[in-house]
Chain A
Amino acid sequence: QVQLVESGGGVVQPGRSLRLSCVASGFTFSTYGMHWVRQAPGKGLEWVAVIWHDGSNKYYVDSVKGRITISRDNSKNTLYLQMNSLRGEDTAVYYCARDYGQGSGYYHFDYWGQGTLVTVSS
């Protein structure tokens, strides 16, 4: 069965960095696009970034461009989110989600992890 398990969340001071990981199992990781989606406390879902199945293309929501980098290691079945210069508004539960396709658009997110909480606070 498909499983996505996030880790790496925690409390971090503003301006510091954090790296999230998402370990995938139960499917051929290298054939699917992958996303990060976040949800601030009591708020709605916000798409953060996508990476194509082969890592050849990456897209970001405007609010994180230049501060956050999505990457993947297909040999380790792992998705990453490197977050730098963190701000209070980055406080959220971060979910990794599998794209139904290769990540190039159109498709829905068919499997989600349980999320990891990132709290940016001094």
Chain B
Amino acid sequence: SYVLTQPPSVSVAPGQTARITCGGNNIGSKSVHWYQQKPGQAPVVVVYDDSDRPSGIPERFSGSNSGNTATLTISRVEAGDEADYYCQVWDRTSDHYVFGTGTKVTVL
């Protein structure tokens, strides 16, 4: 089965840039989506199709995808960005949807 690997945690100071990676075999050939989940809440999509943002999501959230790594970048980090972040793809070979292992972003 397809596996997506994320770093368990990322720490960043307010105003700085956080980068969260999502590793998978030839992930650059897939469409990657990113979700933010705050404690006690349901996930919310922040980036879809590698780099598109839903309405209402700040431009500070951006994404890229190439080779074996997709990246979610949060610019000018704010305290409210502290959350767990998950990448997700659809695996065509199995018709399964796969989530990454998740990354906890801590704002120092």
Chain A residues near B (Cβ < 8 Å): 35, 37, 44-47, 50, 59, 61-62, 95, 100, 105-110, 112-115
Asked, given contacts A44-B102, A45-B102, whether A106 binds B90 with beta carbons under 8 Å apart, the answer is yes
Residues in chain B near residue A106, CB distance under 8 A: 31, 90
Are the CB atoms of A47 and B96 closer together than 8 Å? yes
Say how far B15's CB is from chain A's closest CB, in angstroms: 28
Say how far B38's CB is from chain A's closest CB, in angstroms: 12
Are the CB atoms of B86 and A44 closer together than 8 Å? yes
- CB interface residues, B 30-76, toward A, < 8 Å: 31, 33, 35, 37, 41-45, 48-49, 54
Residues in chain B near residue A110, CB distance under 8 A: 45, 48, 54
When C-beta atoms are compared, the residue in chain B nearest to A110 turns out to be B45
Q: How far is the CA of A97 from the CA of B81 in the complex (A)?
A: 22
Q: Number of B interface residues at 8 Å Cβ cutoff, please give it.
A: 26
Are the CB atoms of A105 and B49 closer together than 8 Å? no
Asked, given contacts A105-B90, A108-B88, whether A59 binds B96 with beta carbons under 8 Å apart, the answer is yes
When C-beta atoms are compared, the residue in chain B nearest to A59 turns out to be B95
Instruction: Tell which of B42, B92, B101 touches A95, judged by Cβ atoms closer than 8 Å.
Output: B42
Q: How far is the CA of A105 from the CA of B100 in the complex (A)?
A: 17
Residues in chain A near residue B95, CB distance under 8 A: 59, 105
- CB interface residues, B 81-105, toward A, < 8 Å: 84, 86, 88, 90, 92, 95-102
Say how far B93's CB is from chain A's closest CB, in angstroms: 11
Q: How far is the CA of A112 from the CA of B38 in the complex (A)?
A: 13
Instruction: Tell which of B33, B37, B42, B98 touches A108, judged by Cβ atoms closer than 8 Å.
Output: B33
The 5 closest A-B pairs by CB, nearest first: A108-B33, A112-B42, A47-B97, A44-B102, A108-B48
Instruction: Tell which of A45, A59, A61 touches B43, judged by Cβ atoms closer than 8 Å.
Output: A45
Say how far A99's CB is from chain B's closest CB, in angstroms: 9
Residues in chain B near residue A108, CB distance under 8 A: 33, 45, 48-49, 88
Residues in chain B near residue A109, CB distance under 8 A: 33, 35, 43, 45, 88
Are the CB atoms of B45 and A44 closer together than 8 Å? no
Q: How far is the CA of A37 from the CA of B33 in the complex (A)?
A: 15
> Is B29 engaged at the interface, CB distance under 8 Å to the other chain?
no
Instruction: Tell which of B1, B42, B84, B96 touches A114, judged by Cβ atoms closer than 8 Å.
Output: B42
